[in-house]
Structure 1
Amino acid sequence: MKPFQATLSLIIAGLAHALVSPNGTGRLPALGWNSWNEYGCNINEDVFIGVGQRFLDLGLKDLGYEYINIDDCWSDKAQRRDPRTMEIVPDYQKFPKGINHTADLIHALGLKLGIYSDADLKYDNCNVPKEWVDQYEYTPEGGNSDSPPGYDWGTSKTAKRYNAMRDALSKQSRTIQYSLCAWGHAHVEQWGNNTGHSWRMWGDIYPEWTGQYQWSWGLMPILNQASFFWNTTNFWSHNDWDMLEVGNGNLTYEENRSHFAMWAALKSPLIIGTPLDNIKKPVLEILSNKELIDFNQDNIYGESAFPYKWGVNKDGTSNMTHPAEYWTGTSVKGIHVFILNTQGNEIVKQVLFEEIPGLEGKGEYLVHDMWTGKDLGVFNGHFSISVKKHDTAALRFVHINGKSSCVIVQGIANKTHVGGHPNPK
């Protein structure tokens, strides 16, 4: 692998300093593929080269997907480090010619290679100084902390461990996208954009709609957390709600659509986690939705979509089954509205223009379906749409300035449905 480079600088982004890399690296959410969700430790060089080729064959590279990420289990856990260089030794059974060779092959495809490492303490804490453990603890699950008011988590030992890697990357000769994974601990949202370009905000993802499996969570618990931590995302600064499970497990077609739409709306990195060999057409269509990718990658508006109304959970409190259902965000193309149905049956959802920031309470708007790419008509004041169980309507609203040759439709759009495609699994 050729040496990396990252000449890093700091600019003001909102109320915090953001890590800025040359050539725009890290300004927008990363798009790519990661091995962990489907392959776990069963990886080798052929897997990654095959995925890279599929990026080209399936048109994913043309849509902006560019990172091929090697997750855990690439190193020789017996030998660990070269005794002379102290470099981590790759598992030569999986990567016979080393990681450099794999990187060269990925680069030859016009793509970029990512790799996993760890900034945590050793499992047995053997010989780890006590001062490396944070004095205070914080986990987003409970939202409670024993730290004093105003404590600067940017000075915590957790932050310092990640900053050490940031500083090492800054001395290299190639720009690097730096993604942190502290699972939302140590208030990473307060200092993450001074350290890396994105940071995980919750436990690992699991391909279920709700619930928890060991330390992994379904889609709705993660989206529930995102309902309260959306406002720290902007250019160079991205909350990471974990890799995509689209196409994995027993997720229905509608659940896959909701997963992709909401992760795109949140400006989370979109990292595919399903095998690309023999990928089913409905799954590929979801992952290839250009309008949702364009919102995620908007070059003018860096902010995440945010909830403007909760829906089923009317009081807006934490709810891992029914998180916020009504979201909005802005792009260069208009005002976008994402309407999630968390209930177990098809529901007619109503959009009241006066409730949506950025929309005028009165006036005519052309409503566009981001899933089908079709205009649904011009509406005045409100719009209703039928949303299938666990599906998400992805809409764009464009104001009609006074005159329009379109027919104005009042109320519900007749026969307008979201969902209903066969299950891709």
Structure 2
Amino acid sequence: MDHAITAKPKTSLLLIFLVVLTWLLSVPVPTPALANGLAGTPPMGWNSWNQVRCHDLTEDVVRRAADALADTGLRDAGYEYVVVDDCWQAATRAADGSLQPDPKRFPHGIADLADYVHSRGLLFGIYAVPGSRTCAMANDAYPASGIGSLGHERQDAETFDRWGVDYLKYDWCYADTVDGLDRKAAFEKMRDELAALPRPIVYAISEYGVSSPWTWARPVANLWRTTDDLFATWDSVLATIDRQAAVAVHSGSPGGWNDPDMLQVGNGTLTADESRAHFSVWAVLNAPLFAGTDPAKLSGTDLATLGNAEAITVDQDFAGSQGRRLAAGPGYQVWGKPLSDGGFAVVLLNTGSTTATVSAVIPGAWNVRDLWAHRDVGTAVSASLRPHAAALLKLTPR
């Protein structure tokens, strides 16, 4: 990358000039992706974990989430997968070895719940693990035994097919230390079982970036986690952003996406500025977008963040390169990626504790649009930003 950066800090002013030449024009050539024809763009939806975690998960929670996605317009904005995370399972398998849902919290069964989700114009996802125990069994004292897929991979895949599952989150959960499994081989085994099904099922794997899955997972899964769990704090968001800088070249269409974890918009201590910054970087990263809060209780501000059609368009637009970090220094980061219309998307991020102006000079002549303000802002790639705020800009050739 040819670039020049000059920083001129003042009391509350940080001015950064960035010139990007060959870097943004280079297109990486990742290894071939999983050939299941799915996840041509980063998947979007809702996942139960960040909202209710384990013991509060019920079929009513899932039904209400599906209703809210439809009623708030998030479904029409692209949030199509409703994913039931850990703790849906009964304490043991059935006599024939098949998985079964908790009878008190899911009294109507998973197939009935999937039918309901489908009736709302949405797709249904579920959680499983390659080892013998789930994460909640280890971390949430979930009272179960033998509900992992180890030794039941084909049976579980066929069960998911019969229930009408469209998306599988397959979570590692100590399967190396507890069961002695190898990550790549274990994830490949379920990949092969899913491939044998008549029903197409998006395959999402999660081993938290421990074995650098971006280097081997493209032929194995449609998306793979690049980090440990994301929490609803600015420090966690920023640490996760920092970890994405080294993995960008391994993500891409069709069907193979780096996953920096589910969105925390609307959760924890995140301010409106922090939530928009979080969403802005995820959009430029072509990250899967999974809401992890009660969509029926979103504030108007958080709903506008999750439903920002212009930002979502950036996330769903892959033109040969996931977003990369172009520059970083004390109090600032600049991220960017090419767009399919010949333009660029740029995130100007103030990571500091005071208001700052962050500016970038990109070769060429551009019309600049602020995708949070929803207005054209001239020709300068620049924004005055409050602490922990970001500008998401679209640059269109003039």
Q: TM-score when scaled to structure 1?
A: 0.73
Identify the residue that residue 115 of structure 1 maps to in structure 2.
126
Tell me the distance in 2 between the aligned counterparts of 1:65 and 1:20.
23
Amino acid at match of 2:62: F
**Structure 1 position 203, deviation (Å):** 0.7
Amino acid at match of 1:384: S
Amino acid at match of 2:115: D
Question: Which of 45, 50, 59 is equivalent to 2:59?
Answer: 45
Tell me the distance in 1 between the aligned counterparts of 2:182 and 2:371.
44
1:83 maps onto 2:91 in alignment: no
Percent identity of the aligned residues?
A: 31
Structure 1, residues 232-255: CA drift from partner, whole Å, max 9, x if none?
110111111111100001111100
CA contact (8 A) 1:26 1:178 kept: no
Identify the residue that residue 344 of structure 2 maps to in structure 1.
335
Identify the residue that residue 283 of structure 1 maps to in structure 2.
302
Tell me the distance in 1 between the aligned counterparts of 2:370 and 2:63.
36
Q: Secondary structure at the match of 1:18?
A: coil
Stretches of structure 1 that go unaligned for 5 or more consecutive residues are 1-12, 133-155, 211-217, 313-321, 354-358, 401-425
1:367 maps onto 2:380 in alignment: no
Larger radius of gyration: 1
Tell me the distance in 1 between the aligned counterparts of 2:308 and 2:264.
16
Tell me the distance in 1 between the aligned counterparts of 2:52 and 2:124.
17
Structure 1, residues 163-182: CA drift from partner, whole Å, max 9, x if none?
11101111111111100001
Amino acid at match of 2:337: G
Q: Secondary structure at the match of 2:329?
A: coil
Question: Which of 48, 54, 57 is equivalent to 2:71?
Answer: 57
Q: Cα–Cα, structure 1 residues 90 and 121, in superposed 2: closer, same or farther, change >3 Å? A: closer
CA contact (8 A) 1:326 1:339 kept: yes
Q: Secondary structure at the match of 2:258?
A: strand
Q: Cα–Cα, structure 1 residues 258 and 179, in superposed 2: closer, same or farther, change >3 Å? A: same
Identify the residue that residue 193 of structure 2 maps to in structure 1.
168
Tell me the distance in 2 between the aligned counterparts of 1:21 and 1:28.
13
Question: Which of 219, 222, 234 is equivalent to 1:197?
Answer: 222
Question: Superposition pairs for residues 16-415 of structure 1, below 5 Å?
Answer: 16-22=31-37, 25-41=38-54, 42-77=56-91, 80-84=92-96, 86-120=97-131, 122=133, 157-210=182-235, 218-235=236-253, 236-298=255-317, 301-312=319-330, 325-333=333-341, 334-353=343-362, 359-360=363-364, 364-379=365-380, 383-400=381-398
Tell me the distance in 1 between the aligned counterparts of 2:375 and 2:230.
32
**Structure 1 position 224, deviation (Å):** 1.0
**Structure 1 position 122, deviation (Å):** 4.4
CA contact (8 A) 1:311 1:326 kept: no
Q: Secondary structure at the match of 2:276?
A: helix
Cα RMSD (Å): 2.1
**Structure 1 position 311, deviation (Å):** 2.6
Tell me the distance in 2 between the aligned counterparts of 1:294 and 1:389.
26
Amino acid at match of 2:273: E
Structure 1, residues 203-252: CA drift from partner, whole Å, max 9, x if none?
11110011xxxxxxx10111111122121110111111111100001111
Amino acid at match of 1:243: M
Q: Secondary structure at the match of 1:160?
A: helix
Structure 1, residues 57-95: CA drift from partner, whole Å, max 9, x if none?
111111111000000000012xx21122x1112101111
Runs (4+) of structure 1 moved beyond 6 Å?
123-127
Q: TM-score when scaled to structure 2?
A: 0.78
Tell me the distance in 1 between the aligned counterparts of 2:351 and 2:359.
15
Q: Cα–Cα, structure 1 residues 302 and 121, in superposed 2: closer, same or farther, change >3 Å? A: farther
Structure 1, residues 300-356: CA drift from partner, whole Å, max 9, x if none?
5152111111132xxxxxxxxx6x711111113421110111000110112122xxx
Tell me the distance in 2 between the aligned counterparts of 1:49 and 1:384.
43
**Structure 1 position 120, deviation (Å):** 3.6
**Structure 1 position 17, deviation (Å):** 2.4
Identify the residue that residue 165 of structure 2 maps to in structure 1.
none
Amino acid at match of 1:285: A
Q: Secondary structure at the match of 2:319?
A: coil
CA contact (8 A) 2:30 2:252 kept: no
Structure 1, residues 357-405: CA drift from partner, whole Å, max 9, x if none?
xx33xxx3211101122001134xxx432011101111111222xxxxx
Amino acid at match of 1:177: V
CA contact (8 A) 1:45 1:95 kept: yes
Amino acid at match of 2:94: D
Q: Secondary structure at the match of 1:204?
A: coil
Tell me the distance in 2 between the aligned counterparts of 1:166 and 1:87.
19
CA contact (8 A) 2:30 2:250 kept: no
Identify the residue that residue 14 of structure 1 maps to in structure 2.
29
Tell me the distance in 1 between the aligned counterparts of 2:387 and 2:29.
37
CA contact (8 A) 1:246 1:273 kept: yes
Q: Secondary structure at the match of 2:321?
A: coil
Greater relative contact order, per chain length (Cα 8 Å cut-off, separation 6+):
2
Tell me the distance in 2 between the aligned counterparts of 1:15 and 1:295.
20
**Structure 1 position 265, deviation (Å):** 1.1
CA contact (8 A) 2:83 2:125 kept: yes
CA contact (8 A) 1:227 1:307 kept: yes
**Structure 1 position 40, deviation (Å):** 0.7
CA contact (8 A) 2:348 2:359 kept: no
